[in-house]
């Protein structure tokens, strides 16, 4: 009895999914769906404006280095816990990694702003 109820439930849910899939077919090439919406009026200009990839790269590099600088702040608290030699070694290593990353970005040409 439980198997029959399980099979009937499965078939009923499959039937409902098929019916909703068939009824919800919409035309892919509708003009109104593809155009941007501006308060019910046709747009004056194109909504697809060219985006500066160079600006995006600079913004991402800024965010990466900004997060890394926030990782430097807890190093000040470790100065009281560890010896000065360990603190100097850890902070020098971290800053060296930052400088190597900056050099890599500079060498790859990501920091050149060509208009």
Q: For 39-97, how does the pLDDT look when each residue is reduced to its tens digit (9 = 90+)?
A: 666 666 666 667 777 788 888 888 887 888 788 788 888 888 888 898 889 889 988 98
Task: Give 24's pLDDT tier (boundaries 50, 70, 90).
Answer: confident
CA distances 88 to 38, 80, 93, 104, Å, are 58, 12, 8, 24
Give residue 4's pLDDT: 93
Taking 70 as the threshold, does the pLDDT of residue 35 lie above it?
no
Residue 26 lies in a domain: no
| Crossing angle of the two packed helices 53-72 and 74-81, in degrees rounded to 10 | 20
Residue 87 lies in a domain: yes
Task: Give 20's pLDDT tier (boundaries 50, 70, 90).
Answer: confident
What is the extent of the structural domain holding 86?
53-108
Residue 88 lies in a domain: yes
Please count the structural domains in the chain. 1
Residue 83 lies in a domain: yes
Query: How far is 107 from 113, CA to CA, in rounded Å?
Result: 13
User: Based on C-alpha coordinates, what's the Rg of the chain?
Assistant: 29
Residue 59 lies in a domain: yes
Give residue 1's pLDDT: 87
End-to-end CA distance of the chain: 75
């Amino acid at each position: 009895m439980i198997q029959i109820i399980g099979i009937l439930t499965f078939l009923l849910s499959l039937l409902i999914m098929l019916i909703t899939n068939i009824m919800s077919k919409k035309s892919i090439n509708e003009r109104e769906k593809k155009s941007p919406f501006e308060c019910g009026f046709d747009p004056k200009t194109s909504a697809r404006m060219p985006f500066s990839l160079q600006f995006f790269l600079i913004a991402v590099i800024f965010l990466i280095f900004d997060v890394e600088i926030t990782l430097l702040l807890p190093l000040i608290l470790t100065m009281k816990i560890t010896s000065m030699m360990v603190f100097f070694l850890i902070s020098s290593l971290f800053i060296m990694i930052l400088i190597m990353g900056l050099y890599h970005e500079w060498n790859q040409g990501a920091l050149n702003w060509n208009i």
